Homo-oligomer: A and B are copies of this chain.
Amino acid sequence: MQFLSDNAAPVHPAVWSAMLAADAADSPYDGDALSRELDAAFSNLFGCECSALWVATGTAANCIALAAMVPPHGGVVCHREAHIEMDEGGAPGFYMHGAKLMLAEGQSAKLTPETLAAVIDPIRDDVHQVQPHAVSITQASEYGCVYRSAELAAIAAFAEGRGLGLHMDGARFANAVAHLGCSPAEACAGVDALTFGFVKNGGLGAEAIVFFKPSLVDVVRYRRKRAGHLQSKGRFLAAQILAMLKDDLWLENGRAANAAAGEIAAAAADRLLHPVEANEIFLTTTAPERAALREQGFSFYDWGDDAARLVTAWNADAGHVSALAKAIRAL
């Protein structure tokens, strides 16, 4: 009973079908018919003109987007526990040619104008100090928490007021939208570039970088190629994304994962380190408790010495979820 990661879940059948349907030869790279549909598909989804490019991984999507917004001598403010800081093996430094991540605080890995200002205000406006050029936030956050519309608006206003670009790591954007019950546009209002994640949500190997500021995309096309991320059979990446967008499969999958997480959270209300608003549950547990759960067949990661991280996916098994909820209650 797998609660290790949504990263490793199976691929959704509709995604497989779309890939198989794309088998016939078409133009290589992103000249194929499917890749050429992406701009329209995302413009339609978000209700505004936007450009979208596929890449294979969230790390590539985040870093290619950031590199289009930040010069090598600049910086990006992000949360101290942001994925780009903690889990991307230094990819931001590589893609941005040495630009700096500037680390801010915030409850449940969410930034606020106040925590941003606490990082930015002390920076002297001179050449001896790296100047911030962008803010990066994660929706849902690394602790499975979601920015509300007002929180997002406050950050976007702050960024705009300081002349900073705004990037959103939406590796779990589907989970965030599912939780908020709002439109996708509302869940990323004010953002210049969004990493729209599919791999954790039933995809195989395709994420979209969505640009709401179209001027960024031309440079990004060169940067994607230069990073070896322009796959020659790109039609298979486009096919995955289009299959996920069709009939809002992405949202349905996000809801399914959230529902499973919610059921587990309900069984562990007094143990939660963070509100469960997406598909991750951080649970205060002792080592013996975790051993007990593992003995019953549940797989998950330790989170330090006193907690566990459990993740649900689009294909959460109802029986496994109930069993886990029950097991937690019984601890």
Q: Which of A58, A72, A91, A228 has the most CB of B within 10 A?
A: A228
With both beta carbons as reference points, the residue of chain B lying nearest to A304 in the complex is identified as: B122
Partner of A226 from B20, B56, B90 at Cβ < 8 Å? B90
Q: CB-CB contacts of A5-29 with B at 8 A, as 1s and 0s?
A: 1011111000010001001111111
List residues of chain B with CB within 8 A of the CB of A61: 228
Which of the segments A179-187, A230-238, A245-253 contacts the partner chain? A230-238
Contact indicator A230/B90 (Cβ below 8 Å): no
A interface, size bucket: 35 or more
- Among the stretches A110-118, A125-133, A258-266, A270-278, the one at the interface with B is A125-133
User: Could you tell me if A228 and B129 are in contact, using CB atoms closer than 8 angstroms?
Assistant: no
For residue A60, give the distance in angstroms from its CB to the closest CB of chain B: 3
Q: Is A221 an interface residue (CB 8 A)?
A: yes
Could you list 6 further interchain pairs (A-B, Cβ under 8 angstroms) beyond the known A7-B29, A97-B98?
Answer: A5-B232, A7-B233, A56-B229, A73-B222, A91-B226, A127-B226
Query: Judging by beta carbons under 8 Å apart, are B94 and A90 in contact?
Result: no
Contact with B along A205-242 (1 / 0, CB 8 A): 10000000000000101111111111111001100000
A23 CA / B16 CA spacing, docked (Å):
10
Assembled-state Cα–Cα distance A5/B92 (Å): 34
26 contacts between A and B (CB under 8 A): A7-B233, A8-B26, A10-B25, A16-B20, A56-B231, A57-B228, A57-B229, A57-B230, A64-B228, A71-B219, A73-B219, A73-B222, A73-B226, A75-B90, A86-B129, A87-B129, A88-B225, A89-B128, A89-B129, A90-B98, A91-B225, A91-B228, A97-B97, A131-B222, A199-B232, A227-B228
A59 interface contact, C-beta 8 A: yes
Q: Given that A88-B228, A228-B63 are contacting pairs, would A96 and B94 also be in contact in the complex, using a CB cutoff of 8 Å?
A: no
Closest beta carbon of chain B to A130's beta carbon, Å: 4
Q: For the complex, is A166 an interface residue (Cβ under 8 Å from B)?
A: no
Q: How far apart sit A222 and B99, CA to CA, in the bound complex (Å)?
A: 12
Q: State the oligomeric state as a number of copies.
A: 4
A204 within 8 A of B: yes
State in angstroms the CA–CA spacing of A231 and B230 once bound together: 14
The residues of B that contact A92 with a CB separation of less than 8 Å are: 98
Q: Given the complex, which residues of B lie within 8 Å of A60, measured CB to CB? A: 227-229
**Residues in B neighbouring A32, C-beta threshold 8 A:** 8
Q: Within 8 Å of chain B (Cβ to Cβ): is A2?
A: yes
- Whether the pair A127, B93 counts as a contact (CB closer than 8 A) is no
Query: Does A255 count as interface, using CB distance less than 8 angstroms?
Result: no
A172 at the interface (CB under 8 A from B): no
Instruction: Give the residue of B130, B204, B227 whose beta carbon is less than 8 angstroms from that of A236.
Output: B204
Given contacts A7-B28, A25-B9, contact A73 B56 (CB under 8 A): no
Contact assessment for A231 and B87 in the assembled complex, using a CB-CB cutoff below 8 Å: no
Would you list which residues of chain A between 46 and 72 have a CB under 8 Å from chain B?
55-61, 63-64, 71-72
